[in-house]
Amino acid sequence: MFKRVLDIFGASLGLLLFSPLLIFVAWQIRGQMGAPVLFRQTRSGRDGKPFQMVKFRTMRDAVDADGTPCPMPSGSQILAGFCGPVRSTNCPNCGTCSRAT
């Protein structure tokens, strides 16, 4: 029981301390990528029990210079590097669309 109270208190304190940063990040995402700011996804948790994951939206669809969405090739893969997620594509007519952030 004590651990549960301590966990809730610590999480609440962390949320309170980081709320200015979270609000700033949400404001930046809203300004650059529009709404919605949050990404929701159902994932499998402990013992296969599904839970709702909520995080900031960080990826957008790749588009060419005209704003046309680029097709995702069947053999593409998403690479995670220091600078964020990058799509590795072999799309000859969308050469400028390899960055998906």
> Per-residue pLDDT tens for 42-85?
999 999 999 999 998 877 666 777 777 776 655 445 544 444 45
Per 3-state DSSP, the chain is made up of helix, strand and coil in percentages (nearest 5) of 40, 25, 35
Number of other residues whose CB lies within 10 A of the CB of residue 46: 6
Q: Which two tokens stand for residue 91?
A: 């799309």
**pLDDT at site 19:** 95
Torsion of CA 70, 95, 84, 68, to 10 degrees: -30
Q: Answer with the residue of higher pLDDT: 3 or 58.
A: 3
Work out the end-to-end distance of the chain between its first and last CA atoms, rounded to an integer number of angstroms.
42
